[in-house]
């Protein structure tokens, strides 16, 4: 297979499964480091700060630094800051989103008189938060959502994701948001800018076809599907556009790369 100069890598289902390690993940990152191959972890999770993501990766035996993590919160903050430096924002979301927005000089407000409404996953969301967001969008605030994932896997099963929360405001106002996270190009363009390589030299690795693989396809880079998470090989075969490669796990990918 082709040897790439850099990789963009999904987290849940690729590096770990919930709170469980995935065999081959730590070994793959060690292989990349031994070959001095740059890589970034690209996640739709907007609730965690990069340092928190790194802490979890370390717990799973995966070597990482905060500079190697691109979250949908970071991509959202940069997207807004580029459009409107110093904008006022009403946000629904966690500490990761709050930190990303404020570090870009954006001003967080608790009322509907704002330039932007930003929605990220908030497991403590209230009717009042949704009401303020709705009023702000109706007043003309630009509507941004960190990602469109409608469900997220939890110990109890699949729970409402950020896309489900976002839909409340969207349905109420009739306004569709700009989505930032995978499979949309915004987060991927930030990742490509950060890794600093030509798109022909980079591959996206992930388990979930509709987000990870489509995110690579949507910006024209090669994709590597791993069968360690959500999308099975049987489901993959039904897709019209296939990933560039699919492997049982990252151990198999290491073997292929070593064989050249």
Contact 116, 142 (CB under 8 A): yes
Q: Cβ contacts of residue 1 below 8 Å, gap of 6+?
A: 245, 256, 257
CA distance 67 to 54: 10
CA distance 166 to 76: 15
Q: Which residues of 109-128 are buried (b: 16+ CB within 10 A; e: fewer)?
A: beebebbbbbbbbbeebeee
Q: Cβ contacts of residue 19 below 8 Å, gap of 6+?
A: none
Q: Which of 12, 122, 149, 249 is catalytic?
A: 12
Active site residue 201: no
Active site residue 222: no
Tally of residues, the chain: 260
Q: Which of 10, 115, 212, 222 is catalytic?
A: 10
Cis peptide before 32 (omega within 30 of 0): no
Kindly calculate the radius of gyration of the chain based on its CA atoms and give it in whole angstroms: 18
Contact 229, 17 (CB under 8 A): yes
CA distance 80 to 86: 9
For residue 199, the 8-state DSSP code is G
For residue 188, the 8-state DSSP code is H
Q: Which two tokens stand for residue 119?
A: 């929605």
| Catalytic residue ranges | 10, 12
């Amino acid at each position: 297979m082709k040897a790439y100069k850099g990789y963009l890598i999904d987290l849940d289902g690729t590096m770990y499964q919930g709170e469980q390690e995935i065999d081959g993940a730590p070994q793959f990152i060690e292989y990349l480091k031994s070959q001095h191959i740059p890589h970034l972890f690209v996640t739709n999770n907007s609730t965690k700060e990069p340092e928190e993501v790194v802490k979890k990766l370390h717990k799973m035996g995966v070597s990482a630094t905060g500079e190697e993590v691109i979250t949908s919160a970071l991509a959202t903050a940069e997207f807004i800051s580029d459009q409107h430096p110093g904008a006022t924002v009403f946000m629904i979301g966690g500490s990761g989103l709050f930190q990303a927005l404020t570090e870009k000089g954006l001003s967080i407000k608790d009322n509907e008189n704002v330039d932007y409404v930003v929605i990220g996953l908030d497991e403590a969301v209230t009717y009042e938060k949704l009401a303020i967001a709705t009023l702000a969008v109706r007043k003309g605030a630009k509507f941004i959502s960190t990602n469109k994932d409608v469900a997220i896997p939890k110990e109890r099963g699949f729970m409402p994701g950020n896309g489900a929360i976002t839909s409340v405001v969207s349905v109420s106002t009739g306004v569709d948001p700009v989505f930032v996270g995978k499979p949309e190009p915004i987060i991927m363009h930030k990742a490509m800018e950060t890794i600093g390589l030509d798109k022909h030299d980079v591959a996206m690795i992930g388990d979930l076809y509709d987000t990870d693989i489509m995110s690579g396809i949507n910006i024209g880079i090669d994709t590597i599907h791993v069968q360690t998470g959500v999308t099975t090989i049987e489901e993959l075969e039904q897709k019209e556009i296939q990933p560039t490669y699919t492997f049982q796990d990252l151990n198999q990918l290491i073997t292929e790369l070593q064989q050249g």
